Amino acid sequence: MSMAFKLDKNIWMSALALGLFGVAGAAIVATTDWLTHDRIIAEQKAARLKNINEILPRDRYDNDLLKDQLRVTDGLFSPEQPAIVFRARKQGKPVAAIFQTTAPNGYSGPITLLVGILANGTISGVRVIEHNETPGLGDQIERRKSPWVLEFNGKSLGDPPAERWAVKRDGGVFDQFTGATISPRAVTQAVKKSLLYFRDHHDEIFAAGQPAREQAANSP
């Protein structure tokens, strides 16, 4: 048997072995994904409900608000990340709208937050659920790091007036952090935008319809 033939055979055997390893690896990954998919979805659902229930206690609503939701594209929100609105009801009556929205202008990138707005337009609570703000400064927008976000509780567009919905450095009523104004400014603006949309589209938000339908409501 020639040396060239042995070399070609070794190459083909190596290629075949690599191919088999690749197929086996792909099968393992696919099987793992299949086995863990439902658990991951359940964990994500539980985490989202935990965050929502911090700003709207579970006994305030009786519907499955994770299914009773709208996806909203509007000039007030980031075009890359439309707002999701979870509608809370009790015995069929509107209780609150929970906005999952994104402030695109954080100091270190987008800030994702939940804004709970009761049916009467009053804020039930705000929570930041994802961000990359500077530790020790901008990360005080997190409830576990600072009580700052509780300043929004009970507020509305009339209290304070819409023009005062800003941090104090910008002429508003909300505190900023020492050495970090951008983060609280971004959150405050995002909360105000959610309130504005809620005010202008209240009836559309709570209109009866197919859960999880998409809504494109462009403001004039």
Q: Is residue 131 within 8 Å of residue 152, measured between CB atoms?
A: no
- pLDDT for 7 equals 46
Going 170 to 173 to 174 to 175, the CA torsion angle's sign is: positive
Pair (134, 103) in one structural domain: yes
Asked if 119 and 179 sit in the same domain, the reply is yes
Q: What is the pLDDT of residue 86?
A: 96
Q: Of 54, 49, 82, whose CA–CA distance to 67 is shortest?
A: 49
- Where is pLDDT greater, at 103 or 20? 103
Confidence bin at 136 (pLDDT 50/70/90):
confident
Q: What residue numbers bound the domain in which 34 lies?
A: 1-55
Please report the pLDDT score of residue 137 as a whole number.
85
Same domain as 80, residue 13: no
On whether both 108 and 203 belong to a single domain, the answer is: yes
Query: Is there a single domain that holds both residue 46 and residue 143?
Result: no
Backbone CA torsion sign across 37, 38, 43, 45: positive
Same-domain pairing of 15 and 111: no
Residues 85 and 45 in one domain: no
Per residue in 61-89, pLDDT tens?
Answer: 999 999 999 998 888 887 777 899 999 99
Q: Spell out the SS3 assignment of 2-13.
A: CHHHHHHHHHHH
Q: Quick one: pLDDT at residue 198? A: 96
Residues 136 and 192 in one domain: yes
- Side-chain-side CA neighbours of residue 166 (13 Å): 8
pLDDT tens per residue across span 143-183: 999 999 999 999 999 999 999 999 999 999 999 998 889 99
Query: Is residue 57 very low, low, confident or very high in pLDDT (cuts 50, 70, 90)?
Result: very high
Same domain, 122 and 184: yes
> Do 15 and 38 fall into the same domain?
yes
Give yes or no: residues 106 and 210 share one domain.
yes
% pLDDT > 70, the chain: 75
pLDDT for the residue 27: 58
More confident of the two residues 14 and 117? 117
pLDDT value at residue 216: 41
What is the pTM assigned to this prediction?
A: 0.77
Q: Of 9, 40, 55, at which residue does a domain stop?
A: 55
Tokens read off for 69: 């939701």
Number of domains in the chain: 2
Domain termination site, one of 55, 81, 96: 55
Q: Specify whether 117 is located in the same domain as 201.
A: yes
Residue where one domain finishes, among candidates 37, 55, 73: 55
Q: 9-37, pLDDT tens digit by residue?
A: 556 666 666 666 666 656 565 565 555 65
Token representation of residue 185: 């400014």
